[in-house]
Chains A and B, each alone.
Chain A
Amino acid sequence: MSLNDSKLSRRRLLGGAAAAGATLPVLHELVPHGPLHGTGTASAAEEMARDLRSHRAADHLGAMGKVDPNVNGFDPQEILRDFDEGRLVGGVREWDVVAEEKEIEVAPGVKYLAWMYNGRIPGPTFRAREGERLRIRFTNGSQHPHTIHFHGIHRAAMDGVPGLGAGNIQPGRSTVYEFDATPFGLHLYHCHSTPLAEHIAKGLYGAFVIDPKDGRPPADELVMVMNGFDTNFDRANEVYAVNTVAFEYLHRPVQVKRGELVRIYLVNLLEFDFVNSFHVHANFFDYYPTGTRLEPRDFTDTVVLGQGERGILELRFPYTGKYMFHAHVSEFAELGWMGFFEVSD
């Protein structure tokens, strides 16, 4: 019976009107009010039909429609197995990288003005062998200053950070990053201009693989860069994905062979959210954090990665069929980070 929160708005008051409904039981019996207690009657058949519709709504997975790779100019299916080994020039492995701006579709129908290296998000997956000399010729073709900051071991001037070495590369300008491929493992690269979160979140990143001197066992190798997009600029992601396009591998599953060794280079480049994760259904994998040791640290089906964390997964599918993989952060999964492996003989 508290009057503290009473307001003159009667509509608001209506809400709690029956809280003390136990009063006046006599009137309750006298006044005809049967309909007040329930909203009519539905037949059993109607009830069943409604339940069915309600339950069918729970079957839905994914977004509405699909993203046409031709619109974006890059195809997550190709990115999956596209390793860029550059070219050898006088014993030095060389790449040309251009930063540019382009509107892409991150979920069906949802446009996003992205920044990217070499026309794709994630940028090229650079691949080198441990100890090689690497040279990256970087040109900034966008309207904002950018850098490329590689993870690895190198001199400060080659770190791709504003104020060190070439520092910020202004629009239209170029620079050359040169360093040795070390240590072996799975690394990443990204723009390090400020504001940092923005430059990364807009798409300036990619995977960087350094193979050990003796290589790794032959396998069907896949690159999966976990990312997301803040389409409304509230510093939280609206769309999550692996290799940029939400639900891409849900619509077009990753094709693998039964019994074959599958190696996944998994990099977390998600901004704004602190952790991301990878979970595969009906299977387990050997996990090599950062890929810097040749012995797996773990045999599991779920790994959790912080921002910038990465690792190599190795697994074989013993059965044919479709097996889901997704972030075990369920929110990310239902917002785009969800897909299938399709295993065939």
Chain B
Amino acid sequence: MEAATAPRTRSRAPVWLAGLAPLVILALAIGLFVVLDAPGLDRIGVPQEELAVERTVLEPGQIQLHVRNDGADPVEVRQVIVNDGFASFTQSEENIGRLGGAELDVSYPWIEGQSYEVSMLTSTGVTITHEIDAAVETPDADLGFYGLMALIGLYVGVIPVAIGMLWLPWVRGVDARWMRFLLAFTIGLLAFLGVDALLEGTALAGTGPESLGGAALVWLGAAAAYLLLAGVDARLGGKGAVGYRAAFLVALGIGLHNLGEGLAIGSAYAIGSLALGATLVVGFALHNTTEGLAIVAPAAREGRVRIMRLVALGVLAGAPAVLGAWVGASAFNPSLAALLFGVGAGAIARVVVQIAPQVRDGAGRLLHPLAVGGLLAGLVVMYATGLLVSV
């Protein structure tokens, strides 16, 4: 006893101080290193100048680029060349520091539908080139625009999900075996969406600055969402997810996925690469209707149907598409979008893990024939309806 308590009485300093000491010493060392200008380490090589274009805004006679310094050194844009000709421009930052952002307003009489190559010529003579595949005026973020985005969000998110939820009376009638099939179907569907979100997020991250994490943001977002949901679940004393609780989680996962979907639609619309029309809406309706089925399947065995609760679930799953469309069209940022796609994927993974136990059959098997059939059916249905969107 004496021996055990002795070290404690010898040291008077609180424990947190001991934890802080290395940090303080590190800060001092860094400060000294900077003040002495990195002794012994001479800079080798030429400056690494990189800019990532995060957003392009086209207005009549003007091309606006939102750039971020993606390299190790400051970048000074000194001339802008559009399609092999110098163009006049203004910039918000003469010297763009590491990770710093700037706006370049290039005066140029661009013509709708044509492609443009915008080269930023830096003080050292490096050219950083940005391609505009098809020039289309960026929509003004006015009330009508937000209304349009809300309408798109409703069409592709809320309405199809709500329609899908009308399967509730039917799923309430099926027996336990087919219920397991339906839950497996839900999992297959979610798995498809999760993989889709990962791929989508990774592709988006590739268009943004590498210095902010790139594709790592997708996985970071996924891990964070998974852990957060698991933490919330543990906090609420959860023991697996059944009934409305499971339905809520599915709706949340799908909602996060639809947030990313909305982002993609909104940003595609903003850069003019979204072909709006009946076919798109119909395709999405079919594609996302299955999401409604996925939400109600876990709630099938709840004793009482509570309409308001179902409406809330539908809104939770579908409405984020509206939000995503707004953000995507008016303030699109590839890094943020990649992170959000990751969050969607992580949430879906968590939901899958929570629903999975209910698929077990009487013998406790998870991958029994009906479950496998359900999983495959979920994947195939999502794939097939996805093709409809591509028509």
Contact = CB atoms under 8 A, between A and B. Distances in A.
A110 interface: yes
B145 A17 contact: no
A232 B386 contact: no
A19 B275 contact: yes
Contacts of B386: 6, 8, 10, 13
A232 B121 CA distance: 9
Contacts of B151: 32-33, 35-36
A53 B144 contact: no
Contacts of B109: 54-55, 57-58
Interface residues of A, number: 59
A84 interface: no
Contact of B276 (A36, A111, A234): A36
Interface residues of B, number: 63
A90 interface: no
Interface stretch (B15-23, B78-86, B167-175): B78-86
A213 interface: no
B97 interface: no
Contact of B282 (A3, A24, A238): A24
B281 A33 contact: yes
Contacts of B204: 11
A200 to B, nearest CB: 17
Contact of B88 (A19, A60, A111, A336): A60
Contact of A64 (B59, B88, B119, B274): B88
Nearest to A246: B86
B277 interface: yes
B61 A57 contact: yes
A39 B139 contact: yes
A109 B389 contact: no
A232 B279 CA distance: 46
Contacts of A45: none
Contacts of A65: 78
Interface string A17-51: 11111011001100111011101100000000011
Contacts of A109: 76, 78-79, 123
Interface stretch (B29-37, B124-132, B310-318, B354-362): B124-132
A251 to B, nearest CB: 13
Interface in B368-388: 383, 386-387
A18 B127 contact: no
Contacts of A36: 148, 151-152, 276-277
Interface stretch (B179-187, B215-223, B244-252, B260-268): B260-268
A334 B282 contact: no
Nearest to B63: A57
B89 to A, nearest CB: 6
B277 A3 contact: no
B276 A18 contact: yes
A60 B278 contact: no
A335 B279 contact: no
Contacts of B78: 64-65, 107-110
B331 interface: no
A221 B282 CA distance: 74
Contacts of A231: 121, 124-127
Contacts of A20: 279, 391
A55 B140 CA distance: 20
B127 A232 contact: yes
A17 B264 contact: no
B277 A238 contact: no
Given A14-B275, A55-B61, 8 more contacts: A35-B147, A36-B148, A36-B152, A50-B59, A53-B62, A60-B107, A109-B78, A335-B86
28 contacts: A14-B265, A14-B275, A15-B273, A16-B390, A17-B276, A17-B283, A18-B279, A20-B391, A23-B282, A28-B278, A35-B147, A39-B144, A39-B145, A40-B140, A40-B142, A53-B60, A55-B61, A56-B61, A56-B107, A63-B79, A64-B89, A111-B124, A231-B121, A231-B127, A232-B127, A238-B121, A238-B125, A334-B86
Interface of B: 59-62, 76, 78-81, 84-89, 107-109, 119, 121-127, 139-140, 142, 144-145, 147-148, 151-152, 155, 195-196, 199-200, 203-204, 261, 264-265, 268, 273-283, 383, 386-387, 389-391
